[in-house]
Structure 1
Amino acid sequence: MTPKERYRKLEEYLSAENPVLLEVIREYQRLDRVARGLGLLEEEGSYTAKISWWPLISVLGTFSAGKSTFINHYLGMEVQQSGNQAVDDKFTVICYGGGKEVRTLPGLALDADPRFPFYNISEEVEKVERGEGSRVNLYLQLKTIPSDAIKGKILIDSPGFDADSQRSSILRISSHIIEMSDLVLIFFDARHPEPGAMRDTLEHLVARTVEHRDRDKILYILNQIDTTAREDNLEDVIGAWQRALSQKGLISGNFYAIYNEEAMQPIDDPAIAERLKRKRDEDWRRIMEKMEGVKIERAYRITKALEDFAKEIKSSKLPGLRDALRRWGRRVLLTDLLFLLVAGGGAAALFLLGILPTTPALLGAVGVGIFLLLLLVHFSARSGAARREIARLEESDPFLARAMASQTRWYRPIFGIWSGGWIRRAEEKLDSIIDYSRAAIRKLNDQFVHPLGQEKNEG
């Protein structure tokens, strides 16, 4: 799908949802044009493909942590198989669908459709496991269900993290969905209160997420706390998990403890049962509020991402590109200057010493020869210096390497590139996009925030 078709489909969807986001998509088009002009974006690429335009909730965790039971309860129907063993080794994308039954579609349906967060995910898998990108059906599936609870949202259920098979690809996909999601629920199993035994899982699910710029969107859920009733040690179990999480960098934040009432163990002591229920009800309410609020948060996240993308280009990509081009330009101009000094000085010496006669025809021929040789030396120096810079950049930033290759094409005038005027113009455009993003945030505030207690008149 071309960027133009993608813009059109997004506009069709957003026109009925939120007019502010309809304007934002046009700013994404501007950002794409700037990035393509710099060489940072492929012709078929788009920053709209780097975020989810639909509210996206991801459910991650270990085997038997109760992810599937939680999802089935939330949807009000049996969609995912549950059990103590690994019953599903794929990422399952769940969305609303017409009809009266659950339909399961292959992963290819997600990889080829830009409306979903796994668009072109086969390329990401291929980067980790060569040859696995063509087997995307082994990692993904799509389920459409007739549940009102999922209308307007996308829910992703992940395979457990305890299996070694396909671990690197699963972790790569998990990182991708954490980045794309509006809300991430990470489940742990209270029946295994010794978190040290799951150090690897904590490393991947906690240590990496606490560094995320949107880490407030990540909820850590200790599930099946009804199993603590027999020893009445809920606080000890929660404390053990919180200490384990804090060792991975989660000092405080979104930590919840729940259980499923339909699958709970009988609790003989009414006082303990009541205490667990109060804890469960309060945390369940807070989790549901978060899940219901993803639509509003998504609008802010999309708008803020526009600013973040523009800032990243301006503050990270452009300085690196400018420095690389300056080094390239200095090498080329120095080579040109040295050639002129050697060739021009040598020719002048031959004429001054009388070795060559100073006839107009010969002077013209030597001048033309020096000019043609200068062109050869100049373009050879351009190409060689560009290759060295591109090779250096490919190790640290492939996007900058691609931009460098684009900007140093043979037909681009070296003084125009070296002076950096085009970079300043790009910075001005990026500043305009950043300013727009901030104005769009204020427009969203006007929809949802009323400090004076006055609702906006809909009439």
Structure 2
Amino acid sequence: MADKTVSKHLINIEKQFASTDPVLQKAVKVFQDLDEMEFEMGLIENDETTARKSSWWPLISLVGGYSPAKSDFLNRFLEANLHTTRHKFTVLQYTPQATSATLPGTALDADHRLPFYQISQTIEQSIPGEGAKVNSYLELVTVNSGKLKNKLVIDTAVLNPSAENAANTLLRQHVIAISDLVLVFTDLFEADSDLNKDSVASIVKYQDTNKFLFVIDHSEIGLDENKTQEIITSWQRRLAEFGIFTGQYVVLSQNSSDSQIEQRVNNLNNDRSYRVLGALENSIRAIDDVIMPEVESALTTWKERCNASTLIILSFIIMLILFAEIAVGVLDLFFDPIIGPLFIVTLIAFLTPIHIVVSRVHAKFIINHLHKRQKQLNLSEDLAGLFEKSLSFWRILLPMTQPVGKTKKNRKKLNLLLEQAKDLIQALNDQFSRSQYQEYHPPYDAQTGEEY
């Protein structure tokens, strides 16, 4: 088998982080090793990579109700005058050009570097007929704002009773799941309960990730510190009624600054790094925890159906022999030292191609089932590809239900990749402790030249 070529996506990522983030640069090599293993098993194509599962851009999203608080804050924060479509999900990206440009949703759907890559397929799977309308739900806007350099902002569609639908709900849940920082404007909780219930459920689901910053808008009035704390306490009690018990709070007022939000934004690169490494670890674990069990179960079902079909054909042949025995008496021939073995060989030669043909027919039904399971499990790996790799001649004939690649050798490789992913997370942790230590100490002893 030909070796897998390194994805252009991975090559570009490695160049991007070569000088800025050595941990993510090393993560590229682990992704590459995982890609080679998945390619050998038929799970991905030669030009694909598992690194595309997660956006490598730091992601900020804004979620709110129908009030102008969200859009007003965004214009003030980016120091821009945006006129985005309020019923669409707008991805804001930096441009050095003075003039902004608005691109259709297909630009997001087709670009693997952006957070809505192939989202039309997800929409179509959940809401048939809506996947082709991606331009009705998404847009990409370029903005000349330094705040957007090396990051993306997703301005979610407002909760509008006349425009809210299942696709909007799906997209909002997707945005909350993939974001590193979610600014939740509290007018979301003042919307009709039928409108905000799915968004609230997503916040509850991910509340322990520390990605939520609840923004309370009182920008029209001035507030002192005591009053600000009273407002935060009140909202903490109110959100507890929704099942939300974690997250930071910030109150926007005439005399407040956005320093707390700025602090979270400045830490986005770290949040992004942990998210990417977490996605890497999940991808490695998914091979053993999800992919192999799914395909092995499919192989077991396929094998049972094939054997049952062949047994039915064999039973029909035996019935013909019994009828022949009743009619003319042929059983004595089967005990003949020459005719008996010859008959068995002929029977095997007859049944073998029939069994192979039957197996191929049943395989088509199993492949269709695996395509559906892949969509249900939201996997980028091709389950049917691994299944087809496991349909070699001898695997069809022998009682083998283990997928190709489920070996001790690959088990060791997966364990090694998992350890490497954990080491990278530890290295990321060490970066913080080292940087804090270096605030008070030099990186080496000036007299001996040795590193601390």
TM-score when normalising by structure 1: 0.77
- The amino acid that maps onto 2:81 is E
Aligned partners of 2:334 and 2:343 also within 8 Å:
no
Task: Check if 1:406 corresponds to 2:388.
Answer: yes
- The amino acid that maps onto 1:439 is D
5 Å-filtered alignment, 1:288-303, equals: 288-303=262-277
5 Å-filtered alignment, 1:196-207, equals: 197-207=191-201
Which is further off, 310-319 or 402-411?
402-411
Q: Deviation at 1:59? A: 0.9
Map of 1:268 onto structure 2: none
Task: Check if 1:59 corresponds to 2:62.
Answer: yes
5 Å-filtered alignment, 1:289-438, equals: 289-329=263-303, 353-355=331-333, 358=336, 360=338, 362=339, 365-380=342-357, 382-383=359-360, 386=363, 398=375, 402=384, 405-411=387-393, 413-414=395-396, 415=398, 417-418=400-401, 422-424=405-407, 425-438=409-422
- The amino acid that maps onto 1:222 is I
Whole-Å separation in 2 of the counterparts to 1:386 and 1:39: 16
Aligned partners of 2:217 and 2:252 also within 8 Å:
yes
Q: Deviation at 1:155? A: 1.0
2:9 to 2, 6, 10: 6
Which is further off, 18-27 or 219-228?
219-228
Q: Name the CA shift for 1:316/1:130 in 2 (closer, same or farther; >3 Å).
A: closer
Q: Deviation at 1:365? A: 4.7
- SS at 1:59's partner residue? strand
Whole-Å separation in 1 of the counterparts to 2:238 and 2:300: 49
5 Å-filtered alignment, 1:135-150, equals: 135-150=133-148
Q: Name the CA shift for 1:135/1:345 in 2 (closer, same or farther; >3 Å).
A: closer
Deviations 1:39-83 (Å, cap 9, x if unpaired)?
Answer: 5446654322221101111111112151111111111222246xx
Q: Name the CA shift for 1:157/1:134 in 2 (closer, same or farther; >3 Å).
A: same
Map of 1:264 onto structure 2: none
Whole-Å separation in 2 of the counterparts to 1:38 and 1:295: 33
- SS at 1:105's partner residue? strand
Map of 2:125 onto structure 1: 127
- The amino acid that maps onto 1:406 is E
- SS at 2:13's partner residue? helix
- The amino acid that maps onto 1:409 is L
Q: Deviation at 1:18? A: 1.5
Whole-Å separation in 1 of the counterparts to 2:120 and 2:88: 14
Q: Deviation at 1:110? A: 2.2
Whole-Å separation in 1 of the counterparts to 2:127 and 2:304: 41
Whole-Å separation in 2 of the counterparts to 1:293 and 1:78: 25
- The amino acid that maps onto 2:93 is C
Whole-Å separation in 1 of the counterparts to 2:333 and 2:103: 84
Whole-Å separation in 1 of the counterparts to 2:207 and 2:286: 13
TM-score when normalising by structure 2: 0.78
Task: Check if 1:103 corresponds to 2:97.
Answer: no
Which is further off, 291-300 or 315-324?
315-324
Q: Name the CA shift for 1:358/1:171 in 2 (closer, same or farther; >3 Å).
A: same
Q: Deviation at 1:147? A: 1.7
Q: Deviation at 1:24? A: 0.8
Map of 1:254 onto structure 2: 247
Q: Deviation at 1:3? A: 7.3
- SS at 2:293's partner residue? helix
Whole-Å separation in 2 of the counterparts to 1:172 and 1:133: 12
Aligned partners of 2:92 and 2:143 also within 8 Å:
yes
- SS at 2:103's partner residue? strand
Map of 1:444 onto structure 2: 428
- The amino acid that maps onto 1:285 is S
Q: Deviation at 1:292? A: 1.2
Map of 1:219 onto structure 2: 213
5 Å-filtered alignment, 1:133-172, equals: 133-165=131-163, 167-172=165-170
Whole-Å separation in 2 of the counterparts to 1:37 and 1:244: 53
5 Å-filtered alignment, 1:159-198, equals: 159-165=157-163, 167-189=165-187, 195=189, 197-198=191-192
Map of 2:76 onto structure 1: 73
Residue-pair matches, total: 426
Aligned partners of 1:91 and 1:141 also within 8 Å:
yes
Map of 2:51 onto structure 1: 48
Q: Name the CA shift for 1:314/1:65 in 2 (closer, same or farther; >3 Å).
A: farther
Whole-Å separation in 2 of the counterparts to 1:157 and 1:436: 35
5 Å-filtered alignment, 1:220-299, equals: 220-224=214-218, 226=220, 241-250=235-244, 252-259=245-252, 261=254, 277=255, 280-281=256-257, 284-299=258-273
Which is further off, 299-308 or 332-341?
332-341
Report % sequence identity: 27
Q: Name the CA shift for 1:174/1:42 in 2 (closer, same or farther; >3 Å).
A: farther
Deviations 1:147-196 (Å, cap 9, x if unpaired)?
Answer: 2222111111112022443622222222222222211112123xx9xx46
Whole-Å separation in 1 of the counterparts to 2:98 and 2:400: 61
Q: Deviation at 1:293? A: 0.5
Q: Name the CA shift for 1:97/1:75 in 2 (closer, same or farther; >3 Å).
A: same
Aligned partners of 1:103 and 1:145 also within 8 Å:
yes
Q: Name the CA shift for 1:132/1:197 in 2 (closer, same or farther; >3 Å).
A: closer
Aligned partners of 2:386 and 2:403 also within 8 Å:
no
- The amino acid that maps onto 1:354 is D
Q: Name the CA shift for 1:41/1:174 in 2 (closer, same or farther; >3 Å).
A: farther
Whole-Å separation in 1 of the counterparts to 2:22 and 2:190: 49
Aligned partners of 1:52 and 1:181 also within 8 Å:
no
Whole-Å separation in 2 of the counterparts to 1:101 and 1:321: 51
Task: Check if 1:21 corresponds to 2:24.
Answer: yes
